[in-house]
Amino acid sequence: MFHNIFDTVPERPADKCDNLYFVLDGDSIIHRVRSFPSLWEAVQGGVSKISFPISNPVLDKRRPKGKSARGSTKHPVPDFPAIPTNYNLTTSTQPPDPPFSPQEISAIIEHIPSGKAPGIDGIDNLLIKIIHKRFNNIFPTLFNKCLHLSCFPDCLKIGNIILFQKGGKDQRLASSYRPISLLPIIGKVLEKLTTQRLTYHLESTNSLNDRQHGFREGKSVDTAINELLSKIQTARRDDKHVLVLSIDIKGTFDNLQHRAILKSLDASACPVNINRLFNSLLQNRKMTLLTPRGSATKDQKQGCPQGSCSGPALWNLVANETLNPVWLDNVHIQAFADDFVLAIEADRNKSFVADTQSAITQFSSWYSENELAISTEKNKLYLIQQNGKKSQDHMERV
């Protein structure tokens, strides 16, 4: 079946192969793999044909290397770094996490929903399930090599942007469209593995503030409402006024700065290899969009793509910075995802002004430092007086 195999495949493969193998059928490369211990099984079992046209002179050379090998294929073979390129991007000195277990990887792959649109590589979710079921050591080898090298391959973090028009909106306006990012499924599995490890670290070490009720197991909008109502009821029993200020962050996942994420990762004391893998994930991330003039590719220098599974966990890390600091004794702050609430209690109207201004200044310094903005049109202010009466106003009138 196979006319040529670049590099000799042993009768029984070693546990680790450091060479890049090209499996050929006639004049087409149908399989290429590096460091996959299942190479021999893949060759014996057969691989669905994927054509990468190659010139006959290259076939005669048997072992093309470097530019010669990459230049002879329609789609260039990506470089595989021998050492991590981002070791100096974090100050973390924490011990590393152990390798991803086969059980972790299988649990994620088995729960991938079938029938979803593929990323820019065209690899379908169902295909990943079939490959993992037949060659169950391919993905553990790949993902653990990425973890060891602290390298999130560039080809696995390219988002293909699809635009959906919002109902009833003017199709001539850019704001009338909702962008959805279709990411390569292999990259999504690796990102999910890394996010699970980060989440486990944060929850097991109680690193996340208990007043964050969004994107957390055991927390919900109900727990957020109950905590706020409890604060209000306690203040009323103490015969105090309560000022409730609702603050909405504008375009949270679009405007979340990578610099803020990396700073929060260092502060979280998460395992060094998880930290470095997130560093690599945020580097050289690109988005492609099909336009009337062809495909346009841009660097994504901020935010998390719509469809990215790490966005909520990374946002909670950044939001932690404003929930953790010491606030005035009569100021309560809590959050549900990117919706914040400040509750200020006082027994005299005069103290409301100073305490409210102080709380707003403290909150403003956090979102300004992280280059975030608030949606003033969504922010609300409620004054619950000692007699139980409630008045409502917009935040800008405070």
| 73-116 pLDDT, tens digit each | 333 334 444 444 454 466 678 999 999 999 999 999 999 998 88
SS3 state at 179: strand
Question: Which domains can be identified in the chain, with CATH numbers?
Answer: 93-208+268-301 (no CATH), 213-257+304-390 (3.30.70.270)
The stretch 307-323 carries a mean pLDDT of 94
pLDDT of 349? 65
The stretch 189-206 carries a mean pLDDT of 97
Q: How confident is the model at residue 64 (pLDDT cuts 50, 70, 90)?
A: very low
Q: Mean of the per-residue pLDDT values for the chain? A: 80
Closest CA to 283 of 302, 309, 307: 302
Does position 165 have pLDDT exceeding 70, yes or no? yes
Strands 294-299, 390-394: pairing kind: unpaired
Higher pLDDT pick, 49 / 316:
316
Q: In what order do the strands lie in the sheet with 380-384?
A: 331-336, 339-346, 241-248, 380-384, 390-394
What are the Cα distances from residue 251, in Å, to 19, 309, 366, 373, 375? Answer: 45, 17, 16, 8, 9
Contacts of 191 (CB under 8 A, 6+ apart): 152, 183, 281, 308, 309, 310
pLDDT of 387? 65
Residue 373: both structure tokens together: 């903005």
pLDDT of 65? 47
Higher pLDDT pick, 49 / 205:
205
Classify residue 269 as left (phi > 0), alpha (psi -120 to 50) or beta: left
pLDDT of 305? 84
Does position 214 have pLDDT exceeding 80, yes or no? yes
Q: What percent of the chain has pLDDT over 90?
A: 59
Angle ∠(273,279,285) on CA atoms, nearest 5: 135
